[in-house]
């Protein structure tokens, strides 16, 4: 019998996860299907329990449900520390995981950028920023968090046990950084002319990672190119966080390049 997987969010029409995972299932000849489900937050518990009752193979959880989903799962250690779940497995009850931080690490690794002992300037304090901050700190990076709302940056830094700073000194912060990560929605379609930093405050030894993947080349990445820095786009994070979810659900090695191709075709 065909096994069903899915992603729950609200809104959900924009999700590229169905194309990505269905391409992986086809490539491996697995009798599985992946669908997107629009779920209101008030119905999230019942939706997760229903998926388990109907024998779903697993779920992804996306905006705005990642924090709320923690309440309805038995989270692993990292997901509990982050305070958010983006992947649910049903192999041992309802188990919560968070693969966003690993996805970000793998995106940098693909670009030849290591995070251990690196000075990372992370801009943002939302769900993705939390996952990246906890994961990178655990992997030995020296993380500094900044945000348009300083109180949010301070609160996240306190949770992680790392530093925080104000955006008003962005130029000075970047001069001391090896990696800049935009974990905000700035620059995302349709606001493609927005950027958190310009070329004049970057340096050539800087890796600039933008988790935004639509458009493929954000203004931030274009500015990084002009500065001679290393630009890293958000598609790789999307693919690798999905690939790790695939491993958790199936125990099989995912066809990463097939998944990446499906995402890129979906963005055309």
The token pair that represents 89 in the structure block: 């497995």
The token pair that represents 185 in the structure block: 């929605």
Which residues is 123 bridged to in the sheet?
146, 182
Q: State how far the Cα of 208 lies from the Cα of 185, in Å rounded to an integer.
A: 15
The token pair that represents 142 in the structure block: 């020296």
Give the position of tokens 């049903």: 90
Determine the 3-state secondary structure of 129 from DSSP: helix
Distance of CA 235 to the CA centre of its chain: 10
The token pair that represents 127 in the structure block: 């769900």
CA distances to 6, 16, 68, 124, 191 from 34, in Å: 5, 11, 22, 30, 30
32-38/87-89 β-pairing: unpaired
**Nearest of 107, 112, 109, 58 to residue 86 by alpha carbon:** 58
Q: State how far the Cα of 211 lies from the Cα of 46, in Å rounded to an integer.
A: 31
Radius of gyration of the chain, Cα coordinates, nearest whole angstrom: 18
Indicate which residues carry an active-site annotation.
Answer: 66
Q: State how far the Cα of 82 lies from the Cα of 97, in Å rounded to an integer.
A: 10
């Amino acid at each position: 019998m065909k096994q069903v997987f899915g992603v729950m969010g609200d809104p959900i029409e924009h999700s590229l996860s169905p194309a990505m995972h269905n391409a992986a299932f086809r490539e491996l000849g697995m009798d599985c299907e992946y669908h997107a489900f629009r779920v209101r937050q008030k119905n999230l518990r019942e939706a997760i329990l229903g998926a388990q009752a109907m024998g779903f193979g697993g779920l992804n959880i996306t905006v705005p449900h990642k924090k709320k989903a923690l309440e309805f799962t038995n989270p692993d250690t990292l997901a509990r520390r982050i305070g958010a779940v983006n992947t649910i497995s049903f192999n041992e009850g309802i188990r919560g995981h968070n693969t966003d931080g690993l996805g970000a690490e793998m995106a940098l690794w693909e670009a030849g950028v290591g995070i251990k002992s690196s000075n990372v300037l992370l801009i943002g304090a939302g769900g993705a920023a939390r996952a990246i901050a906890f994961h990178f700190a655990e992997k030995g990076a020296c993380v500094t968090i900044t945000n348009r709302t300083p109180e949010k940056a301070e609160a996240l830094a306190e949770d992680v046990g790392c530093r925080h700073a104000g955006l008003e000194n962005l130029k000075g912060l970047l001069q001391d950084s090896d990696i800049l990560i935009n974990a905000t929605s700035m620059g995302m379609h349709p606001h493609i002319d927005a950027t958190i930093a310009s070329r004049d405050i970057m340096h050539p030894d800087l890796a600039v990672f933008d988790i935004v993947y639509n458009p493929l080349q954000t203004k931030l990445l274009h500015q990084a190119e002009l500065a001679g820095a290393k630009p890293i786009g958000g598609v790789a994070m999307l693919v690798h966080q999905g690939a790790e979810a695939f491993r958790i659900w199936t125990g099989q090695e995912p066809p990463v390049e097939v998944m990446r191709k499906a995402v890129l075709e979906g963005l055309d």
